[in-house]
Structure formats: structure tokens, C-alpha cells
Amino acid sequence: MPIAIFAPLLHLWLYCYGAAMKRKVLIVGIGAGNPEHMTAQAIDALNRADVLFIPHKGAEKQDLARLRQEICERFLRSDSRLVDFDVPVREQSTAYRESVASWHDAVADIYERLLSSELGDGELGAFLIWGDPSLYDSTMRVFERIRAMGKIALEYEVIPGISAVQALAAAHKIPLNRIGESILVTTGRRLAEDFPAAADSVIVMLDGDCAFKKVDGDAEIYWGAYLGTSDEILISGRLRDVSDEIERVREEARARKGWIMDTYLLRKPVKS
């Protein structure tokens, strides 16, 4: 067969073969920031992987990348390869769901390229995820997008981790729910609309605007930032007494470090 005809056929065969190749990935929950949060299962997962993918989320969040690096240095016993990559910033928009969907598409494109170029046939990759991959994390959704793209056949396994919610309760030495009462996990965006009527206690995550200021001042709050790390900050009390303090401390911490990760529990006043 003439080379001029053979070369395009070879490229087509390589493309089709590459598209059919499987990529296997572990989504590993690494806890809320303390290396001691690593479970035996998570440590085993890191050492099973051939490639560990380490995301960077901008210069102001280099602490997070360093913590991932520290975890790898402390627990890796294998010759796993570390691959750094940049995560795109989500555009802030009033059309929240649409902006998140566009951001997921952008992240999926990056992950797909990483898996295609950095993970060889028969190798196992791992993504290190803060807290627990099932709680307000988008990695599994992104991987489902990659599957839908159809360029690679993707299999993944999820390794649970200690979440910020668990770290918050442990730090304050409290159970999350009162006896016989319900608890709901929500976001600051939703809390700003109203305190959920059906819930007695609410765990709030992803609150960038101190939505607790709109809640009944007689409610109890248990607030924590940088949970599990050496920078951990804890404040608790009746909301009307500590709301201003939390807001002030939160802004000071954000200015000092350039970023903040905080979570809190709100409890409705006890009925007399």
C-alpha cells in the first residue's frame, strides 16, 4: 500500500484505538486539611496509583496545593508520578446554574486532556479531593461529562474522606443533631433565602456572604474556618452575641491568607 494512503489510515486507527482505551481513576477524599484525616483506605489508594493529579487554584490558594504535597510526601511509599495542573476559575454570574455548568465543561476538557496525555494504558490515576467527594464536590459530575464526551472510556472508584462537617462537629465537641431532631446540609446561597422550615439544625457550606446574619438572633451557631489545620478558628454562641465577631474574624482571616474555607452549624432556639 502506498505510504500516502497508509499514513492517514494509521492516524485514523490510532485515533480510534486511543478513543477506545480505558482510563481508570481513583477519586480520593483526603479530609478537611489535616494530614491526620487520611484514612487507611485513602493512603492505600494513593499508593495504588501510578499518577497523582494535583490541582492549583490560583496563587492565593497555594496553601491547599502545599497541603496536598505534604500528604503525598508523608504517605507515599510508591513511585507514583505527580502531575500539577491549573483549575479554571468559575465566572461569577447571576445565572448560577448556567455558570456552574460552563465551568464544569471547562474542567472536563482539562481532565480529559490530562487523562489522555498523562495516564498510560493500564495505569491508574488518582485525584486528591478535599473532604469527602460526595459532599459539595463536582469531580464525579465532571467525570460523567468526560464519559459523555466519548473520547476515552473512563472508570472511576470513590474513596470517602472526612468532611468539613465532621471536622466542625469534632472541633466543637458536639453532635450534629439534637435528640429526635432533623438536620439539613445546605449552602449560604440557599440559607439567604430562608431558614429551611422543616429542619431543626442546618449545616451551611459555601457561604461567601455571611448569610447567618439574616437568621433569628436566638439561634445557636457553631462556626469554624480552616478546620483541621494549624490556622483553625472556632467561634460558637447565640447568634445575636457572636454574629459581628464571626464576620470580623472571617474578614481578617481572609485578608491575612487571601482565601477562607469555613463551615457552620445553626440550631433553632429550643422551644420552651
Which of 28, 31, 55 is closest to 228 using CA atoms?
31
Rounded-to-integer distance, Cα 133 and Cα 130, Å = 7
Q: List 185's β-bridge partners, or say none.
A: 203
The model's pLDDT over 207-240, given as tens digits with 9 standing for 90+, comes to 999 999 999 999 999 999 999 999 999 999 999 9
DSSP letter, residue 150: -
Class of domain 3-162: alpha beta
The model's pLDDT over 146-192, given as tens digits with 9 standing for 90+, comes to 999 998 999 999 999 999 999 999 999 999 999 999 999 999 999 99
What is the percentage of the chain residues whose pLDDT exceeds 70?
Answer: 89
- For the chain, the domains span 3-162, 165-267
Sequence-distant (≥ 6) Cβ neighbours of residue 123 within 8 angstroms: 24, 50, 51
Given a cut of 90, whether residue 113 has pLDDT beyond it is yes
Q: State how far the alpha carbon of 198 is from the alpha carbons of 42, 182, 201, 228, 269, in Å.
A: 35, 8, 9, 30, 14
pTM of this prediction?
Answer: 0.85
What is residue 2's predicted lDDT score, i.e. its pLDDT? Answer: 53
Sequence-distant (≥ 6) Cβ neighbours of residue 52 within 8 angstroms: 46, 72, 76, 80, 81, 82, 83, 125, 126, 128
DSSP letter, residue 179: T
Quote the mean pLDDT of the chain: 88
When comparing pLDDT for 63 and 9, which is higher?
63
What is residue 33's predicted lDDT score, i.e. its pLDDT? Answer: 86
Given a cut of 90, whether residue 8 has pLDDT beyond it is no
Q: State how far the alpha carbon of 250 is from the alpha carbons of 215, 244, 258, 261, in Å.
A: 18, 10, 11, 10
Given a cut of 90, whether residue 87 has pLDDT beyond it is no
What is residue 40's predicted lDDT score, i.e. its pLDDT? Answer: 97
Class of domain 165-267: alpha beta
* pLDDT confidence bin for 10, thresholds 50/70/90: very low
* pLDDT confidence bin for 19, thresholds 50/70/90: very low
C-alpha cell of residue 103? 465551568
What is residue 186's predicted lDDT score, i.e. its pLDDT? Answer: 95
